[in-house]
Amino acid sequence: MDETAIRRALTRIAHEILERNKGIEGCVLAGIKTRGVYLAKRLAERLESIEGTSIPWGELDVTNYRDDKEDSAQGAGKATFPVSIQGKKVILFDDVLYTGRTIRAAMDAIMDCGRPESIQLAVLADRGHRELPIRADYIGKNVPTSRAEEIEVLLTEHDGTDLVRILQAREGN
């Protein structure tokens, strides 16, 4: 996906969110660090331009909630929301959906902040190979991959360019 394809995918996801939720009333966006935060911010801007109303959005650091990482960074693993998520529809955004473990960790982090009405999942790329029964509600692009491949998402805010590409896994991975 190039810059144009990413922009179009975000616009489509914005319209799908509006359609499913009948607007953005009672919705909160949550971006998973790092690139999910930038995508959530871009999505919030698109939703505001379409609806004329801003949607609150926050950041999730799921480091301490991971079950597949042995060493957790001290002080990491927190959620920052500008509003209470109690009784809200939380729309979680990540760059790539793979095994589902990051999303499970994010749901745990969200639940530590309150009890939302629902949690919906938006991803820029879904590559398959789930280890947990998790699926995205909104998908920018389905990208079938082998386990020997990786998907790299580059975003201007962090990497200086917008690009999604498939890489062959490095030797030893």
**What is the average per-residue pLDDT within 107-134?**
96
Structure tokens, 167: 């890489």
Does residue 81 register a pLDDT over 70? yes
The confidence band for 75, taking pLDDT boundaries of 50, 70 and 90, is: very low
Query: pLDDT, tens digit, for every residue of 22-43?
Result: 999 999 999 999 999 999 999 9
pLDDT for the residue numbered 74: 46
Residues 138, 124 contacting (CB under 8 angstroms): no
Distance of CA 7 to the CA centre of its chain: 15
pLDDT for the residue numbered 151: 96
Beta pairing partners, 122: 93, 138
User: Which residue carries 């580059």 as its tokens?
Assistant: 154
DSSP secondary structure string for all residues of 41-66: HHHHHHHHHHHSS---EEEE--GGG-
User: Which residue carries 């319209």 as its tokens?
Assistant: 15
**What's the one-letter identity of residue 124?**
L
The confidence band for 8, taking pLDDT boundaries of 50, 70 and 90, is: very high
Answering whether pTM is above 0.85, one says yes
pLDDT for the residue numbered 169: 72
